[in-house]
Structure 1
Amino acid sequence: MPLMATAAREIVFAAVPLTFGRAAALRYTGLSDKLFTALERNGQLTGRKIGKHGEIIFLREQLDAVTTRLFGGVTTDIDDEFEGIRG
């Protein structure tokens, strides 16, 4: 009976970071640089200088809240998936 070799497989979890530098925050939110700057100026986005070499870091939670205010929230309620089904 032949032996079967099993390959070791690496499991990778894709977790969203808790904080972002400015460039990564722009990619994450999809906002334009101009709008991002305006949100910083009016206090809706507040970064902290704690990154490498004094880089300003933004919290994901705040980025999510700002984009939700701008564009509305995303509903992931399972009940919405079954809306209209009778049975």
Structure 2
Amino acid sequence: MQTELNLDDVFAALADSTRRSILSRLADGPASVNEIAAPFEISQPAVSRHLRVLERAGLIERDIDKQRRPARLKAENMAAAVDWLAE
């Protein structure tokens, strides 16, 4: 678990429109790579790479559910970035 949010990583992750779209999808609830990749014209491995960037930035978490690793939004870290912008 990340104890301190690195805003450089957060804003670097948010700089990509595909990653922002993935976060919008995850705001509706947890999803697998297949579920996230469906509306995009990119491969599942590319989605996995985007998820790794978002996870390193602390914006999502990946759970282990049998053979799936659903991703879910870490809303508290998104809120911390918004709070920083509001300062």
- Same fold per TM (> 0.5)? no
Q: TM-score, normalising length from structure 2?
A: 0.34
Structure of higher CA gyration radius: 1
Q: Which has the higher contact order (CA 8 A, sep 6+)?
A: 2
- Bigger fraction of residues in helix: 2
Q: TM-score, normalising length from structure 1?
A: 0.34
